[in-house]
Structure 1
Amino acid sequence: MPSLIKADNSWALWAIMVSIAAFSIWAEQKTKLGSKLSGCMVALLCMMALSNLGIVPTEAPAYDVVWGWVVPLAIPLLLFKADLVRILRETGPTLVAFVFGALGTSLGAIVAGLLVNIGSETWKMAGVFASTYIGGTLNYVAVSKALNVSSEIVSAGVAADNLNMTLYFLILFAIPGIALFRKLFKTPHIEEADREALKAADSGQEALSAAALYWGKHEISLLDISVSSALAFVVAALGNMIAGALGIGYLSILINTGLIVLIATMFPKQVGSLAGAQELGTFLMHIFFAVIGVA
């Protein structure tokens, strides 16, 4: 059955995608359900609902633009603070724990891939899940694109991931409330949230969610936005050119990642001080997750 909005109506589709991205960010910061689901999941579910209701098409040139342009721009923007020297210097014992966790995750992905066969793309999804549990959602996007995983599998993987992780997060959310853990481990972020909640209660204001606290208003200049955008475009262009020259165009996202990490490490003060880059990158990623919802 044809959708209400045709595939060639790019303006309408972009209006919907950007509006859903904005709504999902609002929902994560302003509603309890949204904060539990995460903005990315809200964006995915909203677009999925519109697709199932026959309002938006499952395939459209606008979606291809998101895959081909929005994602390659979002990744550099999110990695402006990825100074490896600082990370290695400040992490200390945490880095050792991270390495062991990454090894355990990799082994778990291998075992799961051997036990659960979902077809020819089993090994790809094993790698995708390993990468996302080691490095987060950004890795899910980059590795699925690098391995050329079908959009249907990517969408199903996101849904399965969120469904299974719900139980995991419920356990994690319960742990900070257990007195024994509060005594054994320092919890400065929880104490800060408690202080903010008390301040809000004393002043008669509504307590802010963790997302709202993290993404509070920051001073951002026109120069920051312009330089951040220019650098993201330059990195994406260079990554695409290098990948094309080497005959590995499908790995352009990974090359983009390597380039921006190198730049952020070589020029940590100049690049890391650009305000607004993370906000821009996060907003673009919400548009991407909206597109994932139509697959």
Structure 2
Amino acid sequence: MFVSTLSIAAVLAALIAISEWLATRTWLRHFGAALLVILLTAIVANLGVIPTYGPETPLYAAIFTYVAPLGIFWLLLLVDLRSLGQVGGPTLLLFLFGACGTALGAAAGHWVVGGADALGDQHAALAGMFTGTYVGGSVNYNAVALEYGVMEDAALYAGAAAVDNAMTTVWMVVCVSLPRLLVGFWPKAAQQEDRPSTGPITDDGEVAHIFDLAAMIALGIAAVGVSQLLADLLRQHVGIDIPSVLVLSTLALCLAQLPLVQRLRGARLLGLLAVYLFLAVIGSLCDAQALMRMGELAPVLGVFVIVLVCVHGVVVFGAARLLKADLETAAVASQANIGGGTSALALARSLGRSDLELPAILVGSAGLALGNYLGFTMVGLLS
């Protein structure tokens, strides 16, 4: 097994290169490089070539903390704000439907598996943790877990995290596949004929000079630092709790309108590489051994989470059909719930919908706040 930071980074980079080659030169191009990165990393990690996600791999934590926000910043520098008005409303509406579907799914899953009899004393906290994480991400998952002491039971916390991460990976596959599988059942009015593209974005070639790359890297690192500082200042001195990724997105959008920034090259390549590194870590989260160590509780939690996401999916795609929204918008909104803004952005690119990249980030950021409230509300309702 490769255990040093440099060797793990080399393996991740190699897997990204292989995924990109497969997505551009073989029949696997229909899956897109983003999905292939997740699947290949999950396979390699579970074969023991590199570690699965854990405290012994600081590289993974660094990618989550720094590289993923950098990817969001660089890709948002490419955004034309005029496109937001065309798709922002439907994406936000379906995202809210998805959040409601997650809450309904958590209640349904809790009932199906038998509640406290099957899940134990922490049954309500577990339901709140999964509600929070499938609306706004792992920040909400950990917030509920800390409040109710779930982390004190290390086996339960680690096993539940493994189930959560496995489902996040599976749902990415589902969201890539459903727009193709359901297209025959969708109203023709919802199948927009003026879409920006009809398949995965595979040509990301870009000519960039050293000056451009250095300027982009400096701009990105500075923006991430400033956004974290501003978020802390707002929280401490104004009492407003705004996720730093939302501050970062605002900075990126403002900078993206400046002619000086628009003339710089390299944002697309750097942004995609950062997002692919993030998705590789998502793949490493899928730890089969952690699931097996849970024993009898693993299948119970598995059923609970499957019911949750199935109800969520029925609500999101059912609402999209009733509202005559297109399948790709529904898939991106759903992925923003289950996987967060960064994975939703990657999904938008895999589906060939560059116009959905900004809405994916924005609704994913909104989920960070909404997920906390729904998570704690679920605990109160089931206690």
Q: If the length of structure 2 is used for normalisation, what is the TM-score?
A: 0.54
- Mean alpha-carbon deviation: is it higher for 157-166 or for 281-290? 157-166
**Structure 2: which amino acid aligns with 1:260?**
S
Residue matched to 1:114? 107
Instruction: Show CA shifts across 1:143-180 (max 9, x none).
Output: 4346548763552232231354365233345469xxx9
Unpaired runs of 5+ residues, structure 2, are: 111-118, 144-157, 286-383
Tell me the distance in 1 between the aligned counterparts of 2:265 and 2:132.
33
Evaluate the alpha carbon distance shift between residue 26 and residue 112 of structure 1 in structure 2; reply closer, same or farther with a 3 A threshold: same
Whether contact under 8 Å (1:20, 1:43) holds in the other structure is yes
Secondary structure in 2 matching 1:293:
helix
Listed as ranges, the matches of 1:69-218 within 5 Å are: 69-82=66-79, 84=81, 86-87=82-83, 90-91=85-86, 94-117=87-110, 120-130=125-135, 143-145=137-139, 148=142, 152-165=162-175, 168-174=178-184, 181=188, 187-188=193-194, 210-212=200-202, 215-218=203-206
Residue matched to 2:14? 19
Secondary structure in 2 matching 1:74:
helix
Q: If the length of structure 1 is used for normalisation, what is the TM-score?
A: 0.68
Residue matched to 1:279? 269
1:242 aligns with 2:230: yes
Tell me the distance in 2 between the aligned counterparts of 1:230 and 1:282.
17
Secondary structure in 2 matching 1:75:
helix
Residue matched to 2:328? none
Evaluate the alpha carbon distance shift between residue 13 and residue 99 of structure 1 in structure 2; reply closer, same or farther with a 3 A threshold: closer
Question: How many residues end up aligned between the 2 structures?
Answer: 250
**Structure 1: which amino acid aligns with 2:93?**
F
- The structural deviation recorded for 1:267 is 5.4
Residue matched to 2:318? none
Tell me the distance in 2 between the aligned counterparts of 1:145 and 1:272.
33
**Structure 2: which amino acid aligns with 1:42?**
L
Tell me the distance in 2 between the aligned counterparts of 1:289 and 1:79.
18
Instruction: Show CA shifts across 1:74-114 (max 9, x none).
Output: 22112224465x345x52xx444344323322322221222
Secondary structure in 1 matching 2:77:
coil
Tell me the distance in 2 between the aligned counterparts of 1:57 and 1:185.
42
- The structural deviation recorded for 1:238 is 1.5
Whether contact under 8 Å (1:35, 1:211) holds in the other structure is no
Residue matched to 1:205? none
Evaluate the alpha carbon distance shift between residue 236 and residue 121 of structure 1 in structure 2; reply closer, same or farther with a 3 A threshold: farther
Tell me the distance in 1 between the aligned counterparts of 2:141 and 2:209.
37
Evaluate the alpha carbon distance shift between residue 125 and residue 79 of structure 1 in structure 2; reply closer, same or farther with a 3 A threshold: farther
Instruction: Show CA shifts across 1:167-222 (max 9, x none).
Output: 5233345469xxx939x9652459x77xxxxxxxxxxxxxxx6432xx34233333
Instruction: Show CA shifts across 1:260-281 (max 9, x none).
Output: 3245236513344543213211
Whether contact under 8 Å (2:130, 2:141) holds in the other structure is no
Whether contact under 8 Å (1:71, 1:288) holds in the other structure is yes
- The structural deviation recorded for 1:236 is 1.1
Tell me the distance in 2 between the aligned counterparts of 1:15 and 1:70.
16
- The structural deviation recorded for 1:252 is 10
1:254 aligns with 2:243: yes
